């Protein structure tokens, strides 16, 4: 790997149920505070817990822009802009084809799609102008590239819950192998519509609102876990070659040092531990390290019966003896499952864990399922824990598994968020 370039992370941006900027995200994570709220989708006459971003973004766009913008690309634009600004960049036109954008989503314009069903089937109206441009899956990527003049590859990934993870991984490869100098990578999702809840409810995988407190509805790895909780939001990072970042005097949060992707080839909805373990092993191999070198794993941890058990077994298979000691947590317990944006949000969380030297917690983990035995960071984060290397893992319907390894950079100036975590 000596002929390949180091790829560093120089910008972060987020819109999520637990914060609409990096400072808010850190505040929520440092207290394991939940952003899961009650959601009552129109027509279903049923309430669901959901990771809700409790604000509208319509006032951030002009009346001429809004017809083109579903809620999903709105959040994508804002989160990507945060990351680009954080990196000290803006207009990428000077890079010509040496800058790229890699985007992950599952449903793209789900809100516009839902509104279109209502217009056709209930209101019997014609489609609004520009409906197709608002609901297409690559709308978020296109809108970001237009605003920031990204002229190289602008690619949209849709590998279910691994979508933005593969987007980040493929951006790594493009920069490391010399095709690009800089890339914006991440994902967005706005799935809190009647059609999406209706479809997921039919899988029998959705959690119902917890009777004691709705914020406790998502309990990954818990003996009494009840299913996944849908969430919305967007998360993006700026990646660039270390040489490029150094030339422009930029500091970095960390190095993206490993990427592994592997498919189960097994079942459209049920995971297979061998595929998950293989992705983890490939990421370790790509980073040139062993299992004992990882100091934290941000797990996929959806709080489904079968999924959590298989993932715990996969970690133990991939990590061997180290699997019993490496700290593991799933932050879906506080922000829910952002589908195509889940990998990107959890990747940002993992980067912050390294930058801020803390272990995020799996909230509401009062009794660990014996079938999910790992070194869980349960209920409360652990502070002042130096993390040299960490892994973020995701898997999706269809069997795509992705693991990303993040490491501290030993030569470049270390970058930290303007708001830091605190145990107080």
Note every long-range contact of 74-78, with CB atoms under 8 Å and residues 24 or more positions apart, other chains counting: 75/15, 75/188, 75/190, 75/232, 75/233, 75/234, 76/103, 76/140, 76/141, 76/143, 76/144, 76/186, 76/187, 76/188, 76/234, 76/236, 77/140, 77/143, 77/144, 77/147, 78/13, 78/15, 78/20, 78/234
Residue 300 annotated to the active site: yes
Q: How far apart are CA 129 and CA 260, in angstroms?
A: 42
Q: Per the residue annotation, which of 20, 39, 161, 252 is the catalytic one? A: 161
Select from 123, 110, 103, 101 the least CA-distant residue to 175.
101
161 in catalytic set: yes
**Which one is catalytic: 157, 295, 335, 337?**
337
- For residue 337, indicate whether it is catalytic: yes
Partners of 362 in the β-ladder: 378
Give the pair of three-digit tokens for residue 168.
Answer: 């980040």
Sign of CA dihedral 174, 234, 44, 132: negative
Determine which one of 300, 364, 376, 409 is catalytic: 300
Active site residues: 161, 300, 337
């Amino acid at each position: 790997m000596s002929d390949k370039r180091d790829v560093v992370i120089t910008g972060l941006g987020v819109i999520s149920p637990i914060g609409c900027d990096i400072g808010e995200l850190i505040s929520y994570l440092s207290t394991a505070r939940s952003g899961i709220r009650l959601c009552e989708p129109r027509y279903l006459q049923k309430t669901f817990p959901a990771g809700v971003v409790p604000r509208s973004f319509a006032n951030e766009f002009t009346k001429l822009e809004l017809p083109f913008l579903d809620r999903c690309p709105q959040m994508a634009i804002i989160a990507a802009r945060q990351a680009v600004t954080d990196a000290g960049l803006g207009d990428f036109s000077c890079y010509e084809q040496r800058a790229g954008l890699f985007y992950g989503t599952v449903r793209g314009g789900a809100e516009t799609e839902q509104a279109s069903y209502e217009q056709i089937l209930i209101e019997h109206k014609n489609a609004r102008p520009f409906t197709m441009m608002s609901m297409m899956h690559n709308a978020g990527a296109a809108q970001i590239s237009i605003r920031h003049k990204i002229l190289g590859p602008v690619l949209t990934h849709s590998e279910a819950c691994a979508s933005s993870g593969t987007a980040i991984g493929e951006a790594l490869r493009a920069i490391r192998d010399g095709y690009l100098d800089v890339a914006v990578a991440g994902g967005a999702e706005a799935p809190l519509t009647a059609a999406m809840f209706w479809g997921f409810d039919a899988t029998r995988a959705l959690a119902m609102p917890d009777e004691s407190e709705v914020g406790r509805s998502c309990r990954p790895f818990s003996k009494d876990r009840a299913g996944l909780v849908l969430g919305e939001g967007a998360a993006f990072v700026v990646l660039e070659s270390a040489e490029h970042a150094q030339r422009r005097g930029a500091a970095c949060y960390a190095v993206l040092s490993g990427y592994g992707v592997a498919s189960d080839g097994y079942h459209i909805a049920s995971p297979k531990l061998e595929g998950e373990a293989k992705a983890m092993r490939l990421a370790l191999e790509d980073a040139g390290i062993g299992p004992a070198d990882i100091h934290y794993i941000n797990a996929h941890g959806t709080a489904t019966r079968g999924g959590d058990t298989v993932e715990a077994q996969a970690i133990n298979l991939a990590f061997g003896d180290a699997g019993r000691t490496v700290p593991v947590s799933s932050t879906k317990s506080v922000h829910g499952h952002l589908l195509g944006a889940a990998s990107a949000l959890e990747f940002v969380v993992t980067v912050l864990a390294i930058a801020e030297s803390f272990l995020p917690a799996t909230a509401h983990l009062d009794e660990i399922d014996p079938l999910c035995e790992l070194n869980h960071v349960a209920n409360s984060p652990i502070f002042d824990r130096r993390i040299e290397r960490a892994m973020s893992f995701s898997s999706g319907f269809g069997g795509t598994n992705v693991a990303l390894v993040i490491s501290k950079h030993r030569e470049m100036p270390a970058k930290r968020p303007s708001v830091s975590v605190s145990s107080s």
